Amino acid sequence: MWCQSCREEYGEVDAGTCKECYEEASETEEELKREIEDLKSKVAFLRLSPPSLELNLSPSASAPDFLLVASSHPPSSTPAVPAHRAVLISRSPVFRAMLESDMEESRSGMIKISDVSYDVLRSFVNYLYTAEILLDEQMACDLLVLAEKYQVKYLKAFCEKFMTSKVNNENAIINYAFAHRHNAKQLLEAAVSLIMDNMSTLVERSEYKELVEKDPRLVVEIYEAYLNKQVNTAPKI
């Protein structure tokens, strides 16, 4: 038989395609599904915007009425990030509660955000407007924390997906602890899977020794998960 895709001969008589082309097509289908899900999430996020506001950062847009400041840096050396009240309250329930009340931020027109760099804050605000973000591993980590704090769930999910794709033997323990702190289930599962596969070298890693000192409870959970896996995969007698 001849494969309908690559036209190479193969031995299976009823599939219509060779194993290599079938696997490649399956991978392509999964990639398309992931892209479609990403687009659906982006559309859902952008639909949260108020229809009365033109969502862009051009000079022709209505003037921003709020300033966000990365308060971990001196105000004199860090520029503020401008934003519209309507965008902030439509994207984040935390901002909505803050700005629709008589809190200081609502009166002053300034929101101070602690423990964040200017670049991360600027990327965060840009995402609120466009649902677009350029990530590296550190930016994804910082933005996930910020997205969790202000309950921007679409951004948190996007950052978690990116971080999950970057999990490897070198960073699995760090990501495991991070995922625990920030309720990132997908990242947690990916990190646990790698840790389980490398238990023999676990105690030799500096990240493991640091985790023992800082949060031994998580170490116990790792070993409990490992023992459960051994029990579940043991051959039946």
Encode pLDDT of 53-90 as tens digits. 444 444 345 678 889 999 764 555 678 999 999 899 99
pLDDT, mean of residues 202-213: 86
Question: Which comes out higher in pLDDT, residue 95 or 6?
Answer: 95
What is the pLDDT at residue 24? 61
- The CATH number that applies at residue 116 is 3.30.710.10
Q: What are the backbone dihedrals phi and psi of residue 236, each rounded to the nearest 5 degrees, phi first?
A: -75, 135
* H runs (alpha helix) in 72-215: 85-91, 93-99, 104-108, 118-130, 137-149, 153-165, 172-181, 185-197, 206-214
What is the pLDDT at residue 20? 65
pLDDT, mean of residues 136-158: 96
What is the pLDDT at residue 19? 62
Report the distance separating Cα 88 and Cα 152, nearest Å.
10
Number of domains in the chain: 3
Share of the chain above pLDDT 70, in %: 71
Sign of CA dihedral 46, 49, 53, 59: negative
| Pair 125, 98 in one domain | yes
| Pair 6, 29 in one domain | yes
Kind of pairing between the strands at 81-83 and 110-113: unpaired
Instruction: Count CB atoms within 10 A of the CB of residue 94.
Output: 14
Averaged pLDDT of the chain: 81
What is the pLDDT at residue 61? 53
Question: Which comes out higher in pLDDT, residue 27 or 78?
Answer: 78
Question: Does the residue 4 lie in any domain?
Answer: yes
| Pair 146, 171 in one domain | no
pTM of the model: 0.74
Question: Does the residue 161 lie in any domain?
Answer: no
| Pair 147, 66 in one domain | yes
Tens-digit pLDDT profile for residues 182-203: 999 999 999 999 998 888 887 7
- Show the domain range for 12: 1-47
| 214: pLDDT strictly greater than 80 | yes
Report the distance separating Cα 135 and Cα 155, nearest Å.
11
| Pair 30, 80 in one domain | no
Domain boundary among 119, 151, 183: 151
| Pair 146, 66 in one domain | yes
CB 16 within 8 A of CB 4: yes
pLDDT, mean of residues 132-160: 95
Q: How many helices (H) and strands (E) does the chain have?
A: 11, 3
What is the pLDDT at residue 121? 95
- Checking phi first, is residue 63 left (phi over 0); if not, alpha (psi -120 to 50) or beta? beta
Confidence of residue 51 (pLDDT cuts 50, 70, 90): very low
Which two tokens mark 191? 């990190």
Task: Choose the most confident range, by mean pLDDT, from 18-22, 30-34, 112-116.
Answer: 112-116
Sign of CA dihedral 25, 137, 57, 85: positive
Triad 176, 180, 185: Cα angle to 5°: 85
Question: Does the residue 74 lie in any domain?
Answer: yes
Which two tokens mark 216? 């031994």
Amino acid at 162: F
| Pair 36, 97 in one domain | no
Report the distance separating Cα 67 and Cα 76, nearest Å.
14
What is the pLDDT at residue 1? 56
| Pair 171, 145 in one domain | no
| Pair 107, 183 in one domain | no
Question: Does the residue 54 lie in any domain?
Answer: no
- The CATH number that applies at residue 185 is 1.25.40.420
Question: Does the residue 212 lie in any domain?
Answer: yes
| Pair 99, 145 in one domain | yes
What is the pLDDT at residue 222? 86
Sign of CA dihedral 135, 95, 48, 57: negative
What is the pLDDT at residue 4? 57
What is the pLDDT at residue 163? 97
CB 70 within 8 A of CB 113: yes
Amino acid at 63: A
Question: Does the residue 17 lie in any domain?
Answer: yes
**What's the Cα-to-Cα distance from 59 to each of 55, 185, 205, rounded to whole Å?**
12, 41, 52
